[in-house]
Amino acid sequence: MEKHTPEQAINVLKRYSGREDFIPTAPFWEAIRDGILPQWYLDRFRLFRDDYSDDLPGIDLDKNDPDYRYLRLKATYDHPTGNKLKCRKNVIRSIYGHFQGAINQEVIVDEGVIEVIESFGSRDWECDKGDKGEHWTTPEEIDLINDTLDVVISHLEEAYDLGD
């Protein structure tokens, strides 16, 4: 994927302005246009780290219960944070997609940080095994998610002087 330029961002913003399906992506294009993409990514990674729960709903359930898969899924969907759980497969994939975007947009160019991200992306995640509800994200994987986010956040803060 090619790095987007401010000119491309201006064209995208003009072309899709006012379209409701475009509204969620507009801040990304505005950040490119305004030259603040590192801050935009830093905000996203902080959001994933700080606003998404480390909880593993239903982890205490009896795995021998014939309704275990259903009960575990129900515990996940009934969690007070709603979809803001790091253990969810789509959240893990979204985090990785943002990592990849930051690399593609050349916000992250440090080889050491890129290696950490590539390791994250190539992991054989428990939630990717078997059918839905059969395998679950582990506490160790939650630690890996947080550790990787910490590495990336620290890098962006230092590389772009974006500390609090």
Alpha helices in the chain (DSSP H): 6-16, 26-34, 37-51, 68-77, 89-104, 111-122, 139-159
Looking at the predicted structure, is the pLDDT value of residue 143 above 90?
Answer: yes
Model-wide pTM > 0.75: yes
- Residue 124 token pair: 């054989």
Query: Which residues have CB under 8 Å from 60's CB, separation 6+?
Result: none
pLDDT tens digits for range 11-65: 999 999 888 888 889 999 999 999 999 999 999 999 999 999 999 988 788 888 8
pLDDT given for residue 163 in this prediction: 82
Distance CA 4, CA 13 (A): 13
Average pLDDT rounded to a whole number, residues 143-160: 98
Residue indicated by tokens 């440090």: 110
pLDDT given for residue 33 in this prediction: 97
The domain segmentation of the chain, as residue ranges, is 1-35, 37-159
pLDDT given for residue 72 in this prediction: 81
DSSP letter at 53?
B
The separation between CA 159 and the C-alpha centre of its own chain, rounded to angstroms, equals 20
Question: pLDDT averaged over the chain?
Answer: 92
